[in-house]
Amino acid sequence: MTYTTQTTAVSALRALPLAALRLDPWNPRLPRELQGIEDDLLRQHVALHCDAIDVARSIARHGFFPSEPLIAVPQGREGFVVVEGNRRLVALRLLDDPGLARGLGNAAEWRGLAAIARLPRRLPVVVAPRRDVVAPIIGYRHISGIKPWEPFFKARFVAELVDFGSSFAEVAEVVGERVSDIATQYRNFGIVEQAREQFVLDVERVVDHFGTFTYAMSSLALRAHIGAKRPSQTRPHHRPLPPTAAQRVGELLSWLFGDDERRPVIADSRQITSLGKAVGSAVGLRVLRETRDLDQATAAAQITAGRVRTRLSTVHSHLVYLRDEALTQSFDEQAKLLISECHRLLLDLEHA
């Protein structure tokens, strides 16, 4: 599916009554378990968890600004689903009928705002024939534009566009980001979904702190620990992790975010570099697993790294000596075999 950038050419600005507008049950910001829910339940969720009251305060005090229309697609004969502007739609509904706020903790404030609000009889709405037509403007606004979504919901939006058939390059053009960034978001979202669906892990903390997880996935050692592919190796519709990665994914998420019984081993995202150093060392990893103490694990990894450097320095000195010897005498077959073996071992070290 290729998304057109000529949105205004295939969309129309219309004036529609509030009663004709429905909330979007497939909004990328909705938690997965709420996607597809009925309109009334969706309205309550947005009112409770998406700060619709803030929008209502602005509308009640300053009026509804027609310069920023809602965006909708047709649903049925006379209805429309608002794919951009769900908080404003909920605010308008509850200002129009404050009885809908019954049961909310701020129901009294909704009644007070409704008493002073002056709502238009019809609302400006950009009506597009399909969702994909307005994907560019929605994606740019909430990923690169002035109203960014939280990192997890940005990645979900990107993943949905890719899974519907767009290439990474096409999505990058739609949302105004680099192709490598799109591939990274797609991979990281895929890791969380695989952890949830295939490995049956609790990913609630990851969703809430997806930016920290994204930063962790920039660490080569942490990616290698769970077997995550590089962005350039990421392919649409393919699992980003091997099916054997469940245990390692679980422990990485525990180190980053804690679990029901233990605190995370990092205090904040600035320690992800230290975590990568510990996990990238066999000794550091063992200490981390045994103690969950990042300082101890990092110290053990540094000691091991120091020993490796010392031994490599010794090997280097011997190789320089042997090279100088080769200038004055030739090596026999056995020596040549040993040189070949040393070369193989050095290549193994280089790619370790």
Kindly list the structural domains of the chain, giving each domain's residue range(s) and its CATH number in brackets, ordered by start: 7-130 (3.90.1530), 150-280 (no CATH), 299-350 (no CATH)
pLDDT for 8: 46
Smallest CA-to-CA distance from 87 within 67, 64, 107 is with: 64
pTM of the entire predicted model: 0.59
Strand-pairing partners, residue 81, are 22, 73
Q: How much is the pLDDT for 304? A: 61
The amino acid at 307: R
- How many other CB atoms are there within 10 angstroms of residue 272's CB atom? 20
The yes-or-no verdict on residue 7 having pLDDT over 50 is no
pLDDT at 343: 86
Tens of pLDDT, residues 76-103? 777 899 988 888 899 999 999 999 988 8
129 Cβ contact list (under 8 Å, min separation 6): 10, 11, 73, 74
pLDDT in the model for residue 6: 43
Q: Which among 149, 161, 184 is positioned nearest to 50, based on CA atoms?
A: 149
E-strand stretches of the chain: 12-17, 21-22, 70-75, 79-84, 122-127
116 close to 60: Cβ distance less than 8 angstroms: yes
Tens of pLDDT, residues 130-163: 887 777 667 656 665 556 678 888 888 888 889 8
- Tens digits of residue pLDDT in 27-45: 777 777 777 888 888 888 8
CA distances from residue 122 to 70, 139, 236 in whole angstroms, order as listed: 12, 26, 42
pLDDT digits (tens, 9 = 90+) for 37-68: 888 888 888 888 888 898 899 888 888 877 67
pLDDT value of residue 148: 65
Contact 206/31 with Cβ under 8 angstroms?
no
The structure tokens 């990192």 sit at 151
Q: For 268-326, how does the pLDDT look when each residue is reduced to its tens digit (9 = 90+)? A: 999 999 999 999 999 999 999 999 999 999 988 887 666 666 677 777 877 887 777 77
Asked if the model's pLDDT at residue 332 lies above 50, the reply is: yes
What is the reported pLDDT for 1?
41
